[in-house]
């Protein structure tokens, strides 16, 4: 911002103390002058509500315990109990295991029987082959000559003698090279019939007189030009069938015994499992039931409900659940207490905000002769540390002040409210002609120093303006200099004034300066929360952008320019949270000539 130009001409200190005749009373909504009574002057602040948006606005919280009718209807919950589920699942598991064991036993017994039967069959076949080879070889040696000589009767007698000597051989047949039956131990056989068998060594299964037999084929070379003959020996399988039948009976008996043992063991296992599960499930579900009742007590509003922690045998998870429940109950109790304290704090802050709004001017502009004043405080929290005031000192002079207490929150707001209210009361103790910016800021410093005991400090800027002449007497302590813009010439200036922060010491010294406002001058006081607002990239709003906003909207009224500046700040911040209170006060000096 540029330095003051020649338009603002300093005047003497004595001139600031000269009595000015009373002029017409100011108009508009806001503080109004009160006629002096006796030797004292009374300053009255209107009770209006700040309509500017408040960041971090909080509402009251009501905490009420649950009523019994609001508790969940546990009795209406359908389904199996945990002990029933454990018993059912364990019984099903035991039955499945026993069934698998029974199936495994059955398969093992059947497989063993099949292996034994195959072994018996193979052994009998081997015996039949060995016997057949021996007998057929003997027959081949003894029968070759008889077969060449067609002595078939002798061959038949030899075949029958073999049957008589070996009971396992049921039949002996001999065929010539043409495949005709020439000898048979069977009396009913018809010799000369063709067999269709090939003269090759081998064996095959067949039947004789309704009995299964094992046939062994042995070629017979008796010197015929037609080829070889064939000897067929039928070996009885009765012994094998008997052994297989006995083996089947043994298998069936084994399966029956195994089934009975499996069923008995399975039933015993199921019974034992039911007893163990009933016992263990009782140990698990009893602590869970107790914990459920404690949870219902807590839901009903009994914040002292706690788990006893006696859950022996219930498992680490159940004991952990009890510990977690107790911790949760303690946390709920603490949180509810925090909510209660927060609700109380919200009520106190609401009361403090109400008091602060009562002592603060409204958003409506105040017109006092050619001077029009409009301001607003936009707090970052429910209660702010910024403040401003406008107070007619007499019929011609108006005092304007702005301040920013360091910090945020309730304590800062109370300090700001107490300091300004105490300052307002102190103003009534002096005659109007004794009040100027130096006296006002010194009195405000002493009030804050006594109130905050040096722990709270505040920047402030005060000005006393003669509404008829435009004479301005101003002082400041650690506060940004007010910007002055003339809408007629388009030139910028400022009202610089130096001084320490208020409230640090009662002995702090402040000096006042004077200047002359000219027609078309616009004075803008602001707190550092305005220029220190940041955009998304962290860039400060700054005084240059403020000057641009003032220049761009200088043709608006005081309240219109105030709102335009706030709108520009919000647009610049682009949704970023407000970090500090923002105060803007605009004074527009527009005399008729």
pLDDT digits (tens, 9 = 90+) for 489-512: 999 999 998 899 998 888 899 999
Confidence of residue 423 (pLDDT cuts 50, 70, 90): low
Q: Among the three residues 187, 214, 244, which one is the final residue of a domain in this structure? A: 244
| Tokens 């195959």, located at residue | 118
Cβ neighbours for 182, distance < 8 A, ≥ 6 positions apart? 147, 152, 155, 174, 175, 176, 191, 192, 229
Q: Among the three residues 191, 226, 244, which one is the final residue of a domain in this structure? A: 244
Strand ordering across the sheet containing 471-477: 386-392, 397-405, 458-466, 471-477, 513-516
Exposed / middle / buried, residue 492 (Cβ in 10 Å: 0-12, 13-18, 19+): middle
d(CA 313, CA 64): 38
Confidence of residue 17 (pLDDT cuts 50, 70, 90): very low
Is the separation of the CB atoms in 482 and 527 below 8 Å?
Answer: no
Confidence of residue 66 (pLDDT cuts 50, 70, 90): very low
First to last CA, the chain: 28
Residue 22 has pLDDT above 70, yes or no: no
pLDDT digits (tens, 9 = 90+) for 515-557: 999 999 999 999 999 999 999 888 999 999 999 999 999 999 9
Q: Strands 227-236, 211-224: parallel, antiparallel or unpaired by DSSP?
A: antiparallel
Q: Which of 341-345, 470-474, 476-480, 483-487 is predicted with the least confidence, judged by mean pLDDT?
A: 341-345
Q: Domain limits at 507?
A: 13-50+360-589
Q: Among the three residues 188, 210, 244, which one is the final residue of a domain in this structure? A: 244
Is the separation of the CB atoms in 506 and 571 below 8 Å?
Answer: no
User: What is the three-class DSSP state of 24?
Assistant: coil
User: What is the three-class DSSP state of 175?
Assistant: strand
Residue 30, pLDDT score = 37
Same domain, 450 and 532: yes
Q: Which of 409-423, 535-549, 560-574 is predicted with the least confidence, judged by mean pLDDT?
A: 409-423
3-state SS string for 363-427? CCCEEECCEEEEEEEECCCCCCCEEEEEEECCCCEEEEEEEEECCCCHHHHHHHHHHHHHHHHHH
Is the separation of the CB atoms in 511 and 450 below 8 Å?
Answer: no
Same domain, 37 and 161: no
Task: Please report whether residue 311 resides in a domain.
Answer: no
Backbone dihedral angles phi then psi of residue 11, each to the nearest 5 degrees: -125, 170
Residue 410 has pLDDT above 80, yes or no: no
User: What is the three-class DSSP state of 448?
Assistant: helix
Q: How many domains does the chain have?
A: 2
Residue 526, pLDDT score = 95
Residue 351 has pLDDT above 50, yes or no: yes
Is the separation of the CB atoms in 314 and 83 below 8 Å?
Answer: no
Stretch 290-300: mean pLDDT, rounded?
82
Same domain, 415 and 554: yes
Q: In CATH, what number is assigned to the domain containing residue 169?
A: 3.30.450.20
DSSP state of 580: S
Q: Which of 234-243, 277-286, 297-306, 425-434 is predicted with the least confidence, judged by mean pLDDT?
A: 425-434
Residue 264's CB: how many other CB atoms inside 10 A?
A: 11
Same domain, 37 and 157: no
What is the chain's mean pLDDT, rounded?
Answer: 78
* Beta strands, E only, 17-124: 27-28
Task: Please report whether residue 297 resides in a domain.
Answer: no
Say what percent of the chain tops pLDDT 90: 22
pLDDT digits (tens, 9 = 90+) for 73-94: 666 777 777 777 777 888 788 8
d(CA 104, CA 141): 55
Closest to 407 in 3D by CA, of 459, 344, 451? 459
Same domain, 46 and 109: no
d(CA 95, CA 117): 33
Same domain, 500 and 366: yes
Task: Please report whether residue 487 resides in a domain.
Answer: yes
Confidence of residue 67 (pLDDT cuts 50, 70, 90): very low
Task: Please report whether residue 8 resides in a domain.
Answer: no
pLDDT digits (tens, 9 = 90+) for 462-479: 999 999 999 999 999 999
The residue among 53 and 99 whose pLDDT is bigger is 99
Residue 494's CB: how many other CB atoms inside 10 A?
A: 22
The residue among 413 and 187 whose pLDDT is bigger is 187
Residue 4 has pLDDT above 70, yes or no: no
Residue 74, pLDDT score = 63
pLDDT digits (tens, 9 = 90+) for 127-161: 767 776 777 777 777 777 777 777 878 888 888 88
DSSP state of 37: B
Tokens representing 164? 């008589």
Counts of helices then strands in the chain (DSSP H, E): 10, 17
Q: In CATH, what number is assigned to the domain containing residue 457?
A: 3.60.40.10
Stretch 379-401: mean pLDDT, rounded?
84
Residue 533, pLDDT score = 92
Same domain, 35 and 114: no
| Tokens 């010439």, located at residue | 489
Residue 591's CB: how many other CB atoms inside 10 A?
A: 15
Confidence of residue 119 (pLDDT cuts 50, 70, 90): confident
Same domain, 131 and 45: no
Same domain, 29 and 129: no
Residue 554, pLDDT score = 93
Residue 19 has pLDDT above 70, yes or no: no
Task: Please report whether residue 313 resides in a domain.
Answer: no
Cβ neighbours for 377, distance < 8 A, ≥ 6 positions apart? 50, 52, 360, 384, 386, 387, 388, 581, 582, 583
Task: Please report whether residue 113 resides in a domain.
Answer: yes
Same domain, 399 and 540: yes
d(CA 117, CA 129): 18
Residue 26, pLDDT score = 36
Residue 357, pLDDT score = 66
Same domain, 45 and 170: no
Same domain, 477 and 376: yes
Task: Please report whether residue 332 resides in a domain.
Answer: no
pLDDT digits (tens, 9 = 90+) for 366-386: 999 999 999 998 888 766 788
Tokens representing 13? 């200190």
Stretch 419-441: mean pLDDT, rounded?
76
| Tokens 């040696």, located at residue | 141
Cβ neighbours for 301, distance < 8 A, ≥ 6 positions apart? 65, 66
Residue 56 has pLDDT above 70, yes or no: no
Confidence of residue 49 (pLDDT cuts 50, 70, 90): very low
Task: Please report whether residue 573 resides in a domain.
Answer: yes
Q: Choose the most confident range, by mean pLDDT, from 198-202, 429-433, 445-449, 468-472.
A: 468-472
Residue 171, pLDDT score = 87
């Amino acid at each position: 911002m540029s330095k003051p130009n020649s338009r603002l001409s300093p005047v003497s200190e004595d001139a600031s103390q000269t009595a000015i005749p009373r002029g017409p009373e100011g108009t508009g909504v806001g503080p109004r002058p009160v006629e002096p009574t006796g030797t004292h002057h009374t300053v009255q602040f209107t009770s209006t509500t700040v309509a500017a948006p408040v960041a971090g606005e909080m509402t009251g919280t009501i905490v009420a315990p649950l009523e019994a009718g609001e508790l969940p209807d546990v009795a209406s919950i359908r389904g199996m109990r945990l002990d029933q589920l454990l018993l059912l699942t364990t019984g099903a598991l035991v039955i499945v295991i026993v069934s698998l064991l029974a199936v495994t036993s059955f398969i093992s017994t059947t497989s063993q029987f099949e292996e034994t039967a195959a072994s018996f069959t193979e052994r009998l076949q081997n015996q039949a082959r060995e016997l057949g080879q021996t007998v057929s070889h003997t027959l081949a040696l003894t029968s070759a000559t008889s077969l060449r000589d067609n002595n078939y009767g002798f061959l038949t007698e030899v075949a029958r003698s073999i049957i008589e000597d070996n009971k396992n051989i049921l039949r002996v047949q001999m065929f010539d090279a043409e495949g005709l039956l020439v000898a048979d131990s069977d009396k009913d056989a018809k010799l000369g019939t063709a067999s269709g068998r090939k003269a090759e060594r081998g064996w095959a299964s067949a039947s004789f007189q309704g009995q299964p037999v094992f046939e062994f084929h042995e070629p017979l070379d008796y010197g015929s030009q037609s080829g070889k003959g064939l000897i067929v020996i039928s070996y009885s399988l009765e012994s094998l069938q008997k052994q297989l039948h006995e083996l089947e009976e043994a298998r069936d008996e084994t399966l029956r015994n195994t089934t009975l043992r499996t069923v008995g063991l399975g039933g015993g296992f199921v019974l034992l499992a039911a007893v163990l599960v009933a016992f263990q499930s009782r140990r698990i579900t009893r602590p869970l039931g107790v914990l459920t009742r404690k949870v219902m007590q807590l839901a009903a509003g009994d914040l002292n409900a706690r788990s006893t922690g006696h859950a022996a045998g219930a498992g680490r998870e159940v004991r952990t659940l009890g510990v977690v429940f107790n911790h949760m109950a303690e946390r709920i109790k603490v949180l509810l207490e925090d909510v209660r304290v927060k609700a109380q704090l919200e009520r106190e802050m609401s009361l403090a905000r109400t008091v602060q709004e009562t002592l603060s001017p409204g958003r409506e502009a105040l017109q006092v002769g050619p001077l029009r004043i409009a301001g607003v405080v936009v707090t970052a929290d429910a209660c702010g540390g910024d403040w401003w005031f406008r107070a007619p000192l007499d019929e011609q002079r108006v005092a304007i002040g702005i301040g920013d207490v360091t910090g945020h929150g309730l304590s800062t707001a109370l300090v700001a409210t107490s300091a300004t209210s105490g300052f307002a009361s102190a103003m009534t103790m002096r005659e109007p002609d004794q009040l100027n910016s130096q006296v006002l800021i010194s009195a405000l410093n002493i009030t804050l120093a006594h109130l905050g005991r040096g722990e709270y400090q505040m920047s402030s800027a005060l000005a006393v303006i003669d509404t008829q002449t435009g004479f301005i007497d101003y002082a400041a302590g650690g506060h940004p200099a007010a910007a002055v813009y003339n809408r007629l010439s388009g030139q910028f200036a400022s009202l610089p004034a130096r001084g320490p922060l208020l409230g640090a010491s009662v002995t702090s010294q402040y000096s006042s300066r004077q200047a002359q406002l000219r027609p078309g001058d616009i004075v803008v006081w602001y707190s550092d929360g305005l220029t220190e607002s940041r955009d998304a990239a962290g860039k400060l709003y700054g005084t240059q952008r403020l000057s641009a906003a003032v220049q761009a909207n200088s043709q608006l009224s005081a309240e219109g320019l105030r709102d335009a500046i706030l709108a520009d700040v919000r647009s610049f911040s682009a949704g970023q949270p407000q970090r500090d209170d923002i105060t803007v006060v605009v004074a527009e000096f527009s005399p008729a000539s």
